[in-house]
Each structure stands twice: as C-alpha cells, then as structure tokens.
Amino acid sequence: MSETPLTGRARADRSPHSFAKWQRIGGYQALPQALSRHSPDAIVAMVEAAALRGRGGAGFLTGTKWRLMREGAAKAGAGARYLCVNGDETEPGSFKDRLLMEALPHQLIEGAIIAAYAVGATEVIALVRDEYRAAAVALTRAIAEAEAAGLLGRNILGSGFDLTMRVHASAGRYIVGEETALIAAIEGERPVPRHRPPYPAVSGLWGRPTTVNNVETLSAVPAIVERGADWFRGLSRTDEGGTKLYGVSGCVARPQLIEAPMGTTARELIERAGGIRDGRALLAFQPGGGATGFLEAAELDVPMDFAHLKKVGSALGTGALIVLDDRTCPVAAIGRHARFYARESCGLCTPCRDGLPWVSKLLDALEGGQGRREDIELLHMHVDLAGPSGRSFCDLMAGAMTPLKSGLQRFGDVFAAHLDGHCPVGRA
C-alpha cells in the first residue's frame, strides 16, 4: 500500500469500507496530525513541497491554488468560504474518480477536511454527476459516519475548526468540469463558464471565496500529511510528485485502472493492461483522454507526466490512456470525439456552438466516403482559427480541436484516402 497510497486499501469488489473498518486499516490518521500539529499555512507549504499537481486535467499546482484561496479569504473577511469537489468526470476515457468515490469515500472525505482546514473553507460541497449514483450513495453514507464520529461539524477534534460537508447530485455534463461552470451548476444556474477575473478564490460560489479540487487530487492529501512531502515526491519518477491513476482503455487486452508512479511510460501501462488486443500493432494513443493529442510508437517511452508530454505535443490531462490499434481508423476515432464535444458544448460562444457541429458533420462525411477535398481544408481552418486557446470563452473548443489537429498532422494520408472512398488502416 505504501507504493499505491490512492488505491491500496480498495476492496476488489469496490464496496466501500465502514467507518470503523476504515479506521482499523489506517484511515483518519492524517486528520488529527493536521489539526493538532500544523497550521493551515504549514499544510499549504507541505502540499507545495510535495509537488502535487491537480489531477483534474490542467495540472495546476495544488499548493499554489490553496495559497491563492487563503489570500482571497483573508481579503473577503468573515463569512462562508467553500471547497468544491469536482466529481463530474466526463472526460472520454476517464474513470478514475469513480473508483475513488465508490470504494474509498472516507479517503476523499479526510482529504477534503484537511484541504478545507488549509484554505479556510467553512463548507465542502462534492458535486457528483447523476450517472455516478453508487458514488453519491457511498459518499453520503460516509459523510454521515464522519459526522457521527465528530470529524465533521463544530469544533472538530477540539481544534476549534468547524466544517460541514454535503453531496450535490448534478445532471452533469462535460462543461461542468470547468470550475466556474461547476460553481454555476451548484448554484442551480445553467452550467456555463464565467468571466475571470474575479477568480473563484476571490469570488466563487455565491460570490464567496472558493477552491475547486478534483477527487483524485484531494484523495492524495492524507498520505502527504501522514508521511511527508519528501516521501510523496519520492514516489514519482519525475519532478512532479506522487503516484497517478492511469486509466488504460481502447484496444488493449484488459482495460483497467492502474496506480503507478508519476512518469510511468505508456509502454509499461499498455503492457500491464495485457498489451494490444488480439496481438495487433499500435497505431497511436492519446495519453490523457479525448482532448489530448495523438502520439505514436516513437513516444511510447516518454514519461507520462504534465511536463514531458507537453514537450512532445500532447498532454497528461486526466491520465486516461486511450489506445488505437492498426485496425482503428483515426478519422472515425476523431469523429466520435467531435460528436461528443459538439453535444457537450454549453453553446455560449460561436466557435463551440456552431463550429463543433460543423466539424462533426465534416468528419462524418469523410468517414462515410462522401467527403470533398475542401472539407479537409475546412477542418484545417477550424483548427487554425478556432482551436487556439483564447479564441473561445473557455478551453472546451481548444481541447476538442487538439485530437483533430494532431490527427491531421500525423494521419494526413488517411484523411486523404477517405476522399477516394476507402480507409487504408488495417488493410496491410
């Protein structure tokens, strides 16, 4: 378990532990340490030293985010302050947070309490998408158990720290993963991104200082407090601390969730998932979910972390490794992504509202053998004009264009072959 702090105590059937069982196997050891031995600033400094980056996709340094929240809360003065847990998890290929919420809810709750103490929050709200009903049930039950044990409520463990926590069941959609859209969803508003500044650390949920953290991010916090920043950094193979939950799916023999050191390579992860299905060869892979760029066999040994994958033109994202074999048409794969993002766009700005359905129709036509040469030119136009970050209100469009951009670069010959009504992939 020392090498797999996130999942080492999960049951094989994914059933959650009771409060008493969780304590017997070492749970809730970090919380008393945090409240009795460390100030909030010391906890923030510990997380900074651990080099914990947000596991929701962007990879922002967690300690830096918490420090900004403390500064915002100090300026805001007395009143409510919030920690929101992002349990929406709608990125194609990602299924890590589901396991953590269903099987290990007390681990998440302990991390959230410590994080709330560090940032000065008065309430924790865990947004869970409607499809994750088992997760919502497990979390709700575990919150009630923690309250009964005096770990939530007033004067927790005699520390003078008060905190409440609840689950917010959300209809959910991809855009809710954007932190300001998540805040809007909790408020009961249409979940669309909000203009920044002000940033949530200054004015977030109901206009009060707010921090939004991913489930995996918060689940790592108890181990950092209990064992120290140096230990956590030592788990990694790179400068980015800790282990990472990698979801390996697509054309592999045994799709699965793997906890491994940050910086583990795609080659190792694919081998642990049984290799390419049916003994086929690798065509390409997306290292971080549907909104990340394609890589090929030459990049199989690149460390899977935020910095190294950025250098080779992709991103770690949520760590959802999607594998394509040599029978999988990249045009079809990109088309599936485009249909998803077109459906999930909030429709607030023109590039997403009009551009994504257009891209989806162009790709469907190409896949069906009805494409025209100008269609490929139009796809390049969308990548060049609407794809760069900052061209739309949030980064959904940029993420949606990322697989298309890398697909056009790496598989231009496949796109061209579709103009002649056939796909060359898998025909060798």
Between CA 326 and CA 332, with CA 329 as vertex, the angle to 5 degrees is 155
pTM of the model: 0.95
User: Does the structure show a pLDDT above 70 at 7?
Assistant: yes
**CATH assignment of 243-325, given 3.10.310.30, 3.10.20.600, 1.10.287.610, 3.90.105.10?**
3.10.20.600
- Decide: 246 and 269 in contact? Cβ < 8 Å: yes
| Topology alike, domains 19-234 and 330-419 | no
Integer CA distances (angstroms), 301 to 251, 266, 267, 268, in order: 18, 6, 6, 8
Task: Round to whole Å and give the CA distance between 65 and 241.
Answer: 16
**CATH assignment of 19-234, given 3.30.2080.10, 3.40.50.11540, 3.20.20.70, 1.20.1260.10?**
3.40.50.11540
User: Does the structure show a pLDDT above 60 at 422?
Assistant: yes
Among 401, 201, 370, 208, smallest CA distance to 291 is for 401
pLDDT tens digits, residue range 134-154? 999 999 999 999 999 999 999
pLDDT tens digits, residue range 305-349? 999 999 999 999 999 999 999 999 999 999 999 999 999 998 888
Task: Round to whole Å and give the CA distance between 424 and 428.
Answer: 8
* Domain extents in the chain: 19-234, 243-325, 330-419
**CATH assignment of 330-419, given 3.40.630.30, 3.90.1010.10, 3.40.50.720, 1.20.1440.230?**
1.20.1440.230
What mean pLDDT is predicted for residues 77-91? 94
Between CA 229 and CA 239, with CA 233 as vertex, the angle to 5 degrees is 130
Task: Round to whole Å and give the CA distance between 268 and 159.
Answer: 45
pLDDT tens digits, residue range 149-178? 999 999 999 999 999 999 999 987 899 999
